[in-house]
A and B are shown apart, each in its own frame.
Chain A
Amino acid sequence: MLSKAADRSPPASLPGTAANPRPVPAVRLDGVVKRFGAATALEETWLRVEQGEFLTLLGPSGCGKTTLLNLMAGFLEADAGEIFIGGDLVTSTPAYEREIGIVFQNYALFPHMSVAKNVGYGLRMRGVPRREIAERVDAALALVKLSGFSDRSPRQLSGGQQQRVALARALVIRPKVLLLDEPFSALDKNLRGAMQVELKEIQRRLGVTTVFVTHDQSEALSLSDRIVVMSAGRVRQTGTPDEVYRHPQDRFVAGFIGDVNLLPASLLARAGERATVAIRDLRRDVEAATLRGCAVGEEVDVFVRPDHLAVRQAGEAGTLPARVAALVYQGSHIDLHADLAEGGRVVVRMPGQGALATYAPGTPVGLVVPQGGLAAFPARDAAPSPLPQGPPDSRPSSLPPEPGSTR
C-alpha cells in the first residue's frame, strides 16, 4: 500500500519534475481522475504530451481512452487532478476556450452546412475576416486534397472524404492540440491505410501535437511517436512503439501489443537486472524488472513473438517438443499452430510457402526459442506484475463495480 503522501505526488520516474526541467509540454495531466457514479472510468493519470508529438492512446474497448480525450477537450470535467495545455491551467476552462481540434469516428460534420462552411465554422466563431476565412478554408481543403469540394454537402461525400473534411475543419483553427478518436475505424481497410499515411504526413508537415485514440495496435505502432497503453481506466505503459513492443512492462501490455505466445516456465535465478528462466530444459535470459515479487522456483510465463520462434525436426537438441496442429496461409507468411507437449498452443510465423509442404498437421516438431526478445511475467494466478503507480490488475474481480442499473 502506498502512503497518502506518495499518492498525491507524481511518481519520481515521471519527467517534468523540479529535478529536471524540460520544455513546456503541449498537454500535461497531473493526477487526473474521472468517475461516472460509482465507477471509475479513469484512475489517477499522469501524462505529458510533448510539443509536436504524435501520441496514441491504445487499449481495449471501455478502457477509458475516449474519457481521457474528452477530459483534454473539455467535454468532461475531471473529478481530481489538473490539466495543462501549452503550460496554461485549463482544468476548468470550457471547451470553447481551449483551442483544440477534434475529429470523431463518425465525422460529426454539420449536415446543414456545405463543406466550406463546415471548415470555416471555427474561423467564423473567432470573428476572422471573411477574406481570410476563404483563403484559409481553401488552404485547408487543399491540405486534405479536397479542393473543388467546397460547395458540396457532407451527404454527398464518401466516408473517407468526410473524414478529410473533419480533419480540415479541426486543423484550420491552428489548434494547440489535435485530438482524434478512432478516426479511421469506420473506413474499410485499404482506405484506412491510405488515410493513416496521409494523416501522418500532414501531422509531420504542420508539426501539430496530436493525440490519437485507437484500439488497433498495428495502427498505433505504425503512426505513433509514443504509445500510451491503457486498460481498465489505467495507464499500463508509456513508451515508443519499439519500447512497448519489445519491452512490455506487464503481461497486459505484452499480450495486447502484437501477437504473442505464452510458454510456461519457472524462475531459476535472479541477478541484478537479469533473471534466468527455465522453459522445460531450456535456459533463457530475461529482464528481471517484470518479475518483481516472484521468488526463485516459482512459475512464470515467458512471452515470445510468433516470428521469433522457428521450427526444426522433432528431437533436435535445444528445442521444445511440439506437434503441428494447423497451418494457416496468410499471404505474405504462414502461421504454423503447434501444440506444446506440456499443453498450450503456440503460433510460429514462417516466411515463405515451404512450410505448407513440409509440415502436415500431426507432424512432431521441435521449436527453437530465441535467446533474446523474451519477456517473462509471474504466472497468471500469481501476484500481478508491479508498476510504479500501484498494483495494476488484470483480474476482473478487482475492477470497480459496474454502475447500478441506471437509465
Chain B
Amino acid sequence: MRRRLHTRILGLSGRLLVGLILAFLVLPAFVVTLAAFNDRAILSFPPAGYSTRWFARALTYRDFRIGLWNSLVVTAWASTLALAVGTGFAIALKRYVFRLKGGLEGVLLSPLIVPHFTIGLGLLVLATGIGAARGFAVVVLTHVIVVLPFVIRSVYISLQNIDERLELAAASLGARPGRVLGTITLPLLAPGLFSGWLFAAILSFNEFTASLFVTGQATQTLPVAMYGYVREFADPTLAAVSVIYIAVTAALLTVANTFLGLGKVLNVEQGR
C-alpha cells in the first residue's frame, strides 16, 4: 500500500516536472507573443490592451524590410553553399580513408567550439585586411562557416544509413561512379540533404553574433537590424518581428514535416 502511494507520488511529481520544463521551453515565445499584441508603446508584460499595429510597423519599418531581404539572400546562399560543400566533405569523410582524416574531422567541426563572435571578428579583421570591406560575400562566408558542421553531421548520418552494397551492386551492373552517385546515392540521400539544408537555413536565418561583426549598414541581416532597433526604441515592434520569425520557421518545419515526416527531416529515424 505504502509503496503504491509512494510510486504514485513519484509518478505524479515526475509528470509535473516534465510539464514545467516543457512550459519553461515555450515561455519566452509565449511572453513575447503576448507582448507583441500590447497596445501601449512599451515592451511590457502582461499586456495592457490589444492591438496589431506593431505588426504593421514591423512590416513597414525600412531597416526591417531591408534586413529581412538581406537575411533571405544570405540564408539562401549560405545554406545552399554549405550544403554543397558539406555534402562533399561528408562523402569524403565517410568513403575515403586517408591520413589526417581525424584532423580534417576536427577542423570541420571546430565552428562548434569556436565562439561565433570569434568567427565574426576573425573574418572582419581578414576582410578589412584584404580590403574586401563589408560586402555580402563576407557575410555569406561567415554563415557558411557557422552552419557547416551541422550540414556535415546531417549528411554524414544519412550516408551512414545507406548500405554500401547498393552502390557496389549498381557498379557491378555497369554504372560508372557518376551515375551511381546520381541514380543511387543522391536519391537515397535526398531526405538527409534536405534536412541538412533546412537546418542550415534556420541557423543562418537566426544567426546574430557573427553577423554583428561582418555586416554593415547595407548588408545587415534581420537579427542585426533588430538589435539596432532595440537600442533605440522600446516599443513592441520587436516582439512583433519575433512572432513573425517564429511563424515563418514553424511554417517551414510544417511543410518539411508534411512532405517528408519530421523524423526523417530531423534525422532521428534510422534508415531502412
- Do the beta carbons of B172 and A96 come within 8 Å of each other? yes
CA gap between A173 and B179 in the complex, in Å: 17
- Do the beta carbons of B172 and A101 come within 8 Å of each other? yes
CA gap between A122 and B172 in the complex, in Å: 8
Let me know if B188 is at the binding interface, CB within 8 A: yes
For chain A, the bracket of interface size reads: 20 to 34
- Do the beta carbons of A98 and B165 come within 8 Å of each other? no
A126 touching B168 in the complex, CB below 8 Å, given contacts A110-B184, A111-B188: no
In this complex, which of B166, B171, B175, B177 has the most chain A Cβ atoms within 10 angstroms of its Cβ?
B171
A102 touching B172 in the complex, CB below 8 Å, given contacts A108-B166, A125-B179: yes
Minimal Cβ-Cβ distance residue in A for B183: A121
**Restricting to B120-179, which residues have a CB under 8 Å from any CB of A?**
163, 165-166, 168-177, 179
Minimal Cβ-Cβ distance residue in A for B163: A108
- Do the beta carbons of A100 and B166 come within 8 Å of each other? no
Interface size on B, residues (CB 8 A): 19
- For B168, what are the chain A residues with a Cβ–Cβ distance below 8 Å? 73, 75, 95, 102, 104, 108
Name 20 interchain pairs, CB-CB below 8 A, sorted by A: A75-B171, A95-B171, A95-B172, A96-B171, A96-B172, A96-B176, A98-B172, A102-B172, A104-B169, A106-B165, A108-B165, A108-B166, A108-B168, A110-B169, A110-B170, A110-B184, A111-B272, A121-B183, A166-B169, A170-B172
CA gap between A111 and B173 in the complex, in Å: 16
The B contact surface, by secondary structure, is: helix
* Chain A 165-188 near chain B by CB (<8 Å), digits 1 or 0: 010011001000000000000000
- For A166, what are the chain B residues with a Cβ–Cβ distance below 8 Å? 169
Let me know if A395 is at the binding interface, CB within 8 A: no
Let me know if A94 is at the binding interface, CB within 8 A: yes
New A-B pairs, 11, CB < 8 Å, besides A75-B171, A95-B168, A125-B179: A75-B168, A94-B171, A96-B171, A100-B172, A101-B172, A102-B169, A106-B165, A108-B166, A110-B166, A121-B183, A170-B172
- In angstroms, how far is the closest chain B Cβ from the Cβ of A359? 51
CA gap between A31 and B272 in the complex, in Å: 39
Let me know if A112 is at the binding interface, CB within 8 A: yes
- For A95, what are the chain B residues with a Cβ–Cβ distance below 8 Å? 168, 171-172
* Residue from B165, B171, B175, B187 in contact with A112 in the complex, judged by beta carbons closer than 8 Å: B187
A125 touching B173 in the complex, CB below 8 Å, given contacts A75-B168, A110-B184: yes
* Residue from B163, B172, B174, B187 in contact with A106 in the complex, judged by beta carbons closer than 8 Å: B163
- In angstroms, how far is the closest chain A Cβ from the Cβ of B94? 13
* Residue from B165, B170, B187 in contact with A121 in the complex, judged by beta carbons closer than 8 Å: B170
- In angstroms, how far is the closest chain B Cβ from the Cβ of A137? 13
CA gap between A75 and B180 in the complex, in Å: 14
- Do the beta carbons of B172 and A73 come within 8 Å of each other? yes
- Do the beta carbons of B163 and A169 come within 8 Å of each other? no
